[in-house]
Amino acid sequence: MRWKGLILFLAACAPEESQSFGTSCRGGTPGGTLAPNGSLGDATWTDCNLTAGTEGAAFTEVQGPQVGVPGAGVHFDLTWTGADEIAGRYAYVAVDGEDGYYADLVTLGPQPLGFDFVLSTDAGPGVHVLVAALDDGTGSPNSPEPGPFFSWPISIAAFGETDVLVSLSWATEADVDLHVRDPAGDEVSWETPVVASGGELDNDGASNCGGDAIRTEDVYWPADTAPSGAYSVFLDYYDDCGVELTDYQVTVALDGGDPASFAGSFGPDDVDAPDRVVTEFEYP
């Protein structure tokens, strides 16, 4: 039986009407818990003021992992009330206690709205509270008109520093499997979640077309354990689960450094195709 690690959660946090983020509109550099990758790669970051509204469309529930790894990707599905469609509006994303926010233009209307966040390598361990809001349809990144705020927690896992960290995230119900081959030729995967060199898979995401399952997988070697040599990262499109197209993102971080990102897509013909090589690298 394929194993699962992280636990899915469903939250309906009350909007926090008094919250605000940013003050000066300097347009500086984003930092903190969320990296400008994944769904936020094309989003606008600003430190202008964002204050929660008291009415209008609002996110009400979130589905996704409770735990994340610095430098890795996490996928969340957000549902909303107060509007039939939200395409053409901005979704605002911030982190409680951190300056600034991201404004991402929504291009798809049906529920839920999926977000693939990449956790910064600077994100410290402990609980971080993510906050999201929907614009009322009249605002812009520097002149936002948000509705009520919705917040939920994610815990940054205390794995400690890592020599090698490879993270996969995707945005559909399909079953995608991450494989990482170490210099000895051993593969970390759902079939072998721990190998002799110390490499480990944290979770088998969306196994067996689990529609309510998390859609991230992380393979890592803790500090001072990764053997020197060549590593290979590849993906198995195990089952499309009836989905026409599955976008994915892989990030690789070495010695806690800035991650390198690799994006791509799978279609129905890829289910029976050979595993896809994403990248190869040398460590250290």
pLDDT digits (tens, 9 = 90+) for 219-261: 989 889 999 999 999 999 999 999 999 988 888 888 867 778 8
Share of the chain above pLDDT 90, in %: 43
CA–CA distance, 75 with 97 (Å, rounded to integer): 22
Sheet containing 187-188, strands listed edge to edge, beginning at the edge strand earlier in sequence:
187-188, 175-181, 229-239, 276-283
**pLDDT tens figures, 58-68:** 999 998 766 67
Strands 20-21 and 73-81: unpaired
In sequence order, what are the residues at sequence separation of 6 or more whose Cβ sits closer than 8 angstroms to the Cβ of residue 107?
87
Give the domains, in start order, of the chain with CATH numbers. 8-156 (2.60.40.10), 162-283 (2.60.120)
**Structure token digits, residue 97:** 């206690």
Q: Is 52 helix (H, G, I), strand (E, B) or coil?
A: coil
